[in-house]
């Protein structure tokens, strides 16, 4: 995974007050819980005493208590109580739980994939979703999250995988697509059309568009499809491990203003979106390897430009971080 970035990993509603919740995310078993003020805490789901999972324990005041021997740890992972040693007994620092920097925003829980720092970059999000209502569903695929991202940036597969749904207009010819990459953000303008015997225009042959992009992807795992004004789909590809991903999909809208009808509208939309995602999964789960990259032998066509940019920039971010760590270790 890309280091030093905010990953959206859970829907906020999945972690309620008063108990710990265990989830595997970012290739690690993590425990999520809330302090009394509602602040989210994310730790390694592991008690350093006897290796039990903390997620089967409970919350005591602002501490998480291991179910095995009652050890209590605070939100920073510091040992606060070893019952067998007595309330005022020793609390050796070797009993330190590893915590993860976490934030809560836009109805998601975000985990920083890197070492703590004084200043963090902004959480990647879209600035056009204020005053929108939404409904959420989630699906699990047994592929790496990069395959899910690829599927969302693939504009040539629509009339084939989705021939009876969003691709039924049979626009098999892919002009471009015109694609930009700036500030860890990819934007894609679709210009697909039915094949009338003319060759597709290359990405370099398309003039800069004067309308908003249809697809936006913000590194490392946030995607948006803008269908028309006031209506869009947002997908979060939350990494579980190298062979599993959970996609959180939301329909956002501000067309219908009546609360009950608005919720019904987004819920019904999600039923359709869930079906189209299942069409993607049917093929994605057959791809090998389960994690995509530039050096796995796959070939590209001009219509794959958004995917190629994603893979190139992803590799660049990882390499730059590795080089930075190497340089620092030599100081």
pLDDT (tens digit, 9 = 90+) per residue, 37-54?
999 999 999 999 999 999
Q: pLDDT grade, residue 260 (50/70/90)?
A: confident
pLDDT of residue 167: 87
DSSP string, 289-313: SSS--TTSS----GGGHHHHHHHHH
pLDDT of residue 258: 87
CB 192 within 8 Å of CB 173 = yes
The answer for 95, left when phi > 0, alpha when psi is -120 to 50, beta otherwise, is: beta
pLDDT of residue 111: 98
Query: Bridge partners of 24?
Result: 29
Length of the chain equals 331
pLDDT of residue 54: 98
Confidence check: pLDDT of 242 > 80: yes
Sign of the torsion angle spanned by Cα atoms 129, 217, 22, 70: negative
pLDDT of residue 204: 86
pLDDT digits (tens, 9 = 90+) for 175-215: 999 999 999 999 999 999 999 999 999 888 898 898 999 99
| Host H or E run for residue 49 | none
Strands (E), the chain: 6-11, 21-25, 28-34, 40-44, 58-60, 63-65, 72-73, 79-81, 99-100, 102-105, 108-112, 133-141, 173-174, 178-182, 185-189, 192-193, 215-218, 222-228, 231-241, 244-253
pLDDT digits (tens, 9 = 90+) for 12-27: 999 999 999 999 999 9
Percent of the chain with pLDDT over 70: 98
pTM of the predicted protein model: 0.93
Confidence check: pLDDT of 79 > 60: yes
Nearest-5° angle of CA 162, CA 163, CA 169? 110
What is the arithmetic mean of pLDDT over 57-64? Answer: 96
Confidence check: pLDDT of 140 > 70: yes
pLDDT digits (tens, 9 = 90+) for 97-115: 999 999 999 999 999 999 9
Q: Say how far apart CA 110 and CA 113 lie, in whole Å.
A: 9
pLDDT digits (tens, 9 = 90+) for 279-331: 999 999 999 999 999 999 999 999 999 999 999 999 999 998 777 666 555 55
Write the DSSP symbol of residue 89. S
Q: pLDDT grade, residue 33 (50/70/90)?
A: very high
pLDDT of residue 324: 66
If you average pLDDT over every residue of the chain, what do you get? Answer: 94
Domains of the chain (ranges; CATH) run 6-112 (2.102.10.10), 133-316 (3.90.380.10)
pLDDT of residue 325: 64
């Amino acid at each position: 995974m890309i280091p030093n970035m905010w990953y959206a990993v859970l829907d906020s509603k999945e972690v309620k007050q008063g108990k710990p919740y265990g989830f595997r995310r970012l290739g690690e078993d993590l425990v999520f819980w809330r302090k009394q003020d509602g602040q989210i805490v994310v730790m390694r789901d592991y008690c350093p005493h006897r290796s039990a999972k903390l997620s089967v324990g409970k919350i005591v005041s602002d501490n998480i208590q291991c179910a095995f021997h009652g050890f209590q740890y605070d939100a920073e992972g510091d040992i606060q109580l070893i019952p067998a040693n007595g309330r005022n007994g020793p609390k050796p620092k070797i009993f330190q739980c590893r915590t993860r920097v976490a934030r809560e925003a836009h109805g998601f829980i975000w985990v920083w994939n890197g070492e703590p720092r004084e200043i963090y970059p902004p959480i990647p999000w879209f600035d056009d979703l204020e005053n929108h209502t939404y409904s959420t569903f989630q699906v699990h695929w047994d592929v790496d999250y990069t395959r899910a991202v690829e599927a969302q940036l693939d504009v040539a597969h629509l009339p084939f995988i989705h021939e009876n749904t969003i691709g039924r207009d049979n626009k098999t010819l892919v002009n471009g697509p015109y694609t930009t990459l700036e500030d860890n953000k990819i934007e894609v303008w679709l210009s697909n059309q039915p094949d009338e015997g003319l060759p597709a225009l290359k990405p370099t042959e398309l003039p800069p568009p004067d309308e908003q992009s249809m697809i936006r992807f913000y590194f490392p795992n946030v995607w948006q499809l803008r269908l028309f004004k006031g209506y869009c789909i947002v997908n979060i590809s939350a990494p579980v491990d190298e062979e599993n991903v959970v996609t959180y999909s939301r329909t956002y809208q501000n067309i219908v203003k009546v609360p009950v009808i608005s919720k019904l509208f987004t819920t019904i939309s999600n039923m359709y979106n869930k079906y189209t995602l299942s069409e993607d999964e049917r093929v994605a789960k057959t791809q090998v390897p389960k994690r995509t990259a530039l050096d796995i032998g796959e070939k590209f066509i001009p219509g794959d430009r958004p995917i190629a940019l994603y893979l190139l920039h992803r590799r660049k971010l990882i390499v730059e971080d590795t080089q930075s760590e190497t340089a620092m270790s030599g100081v």
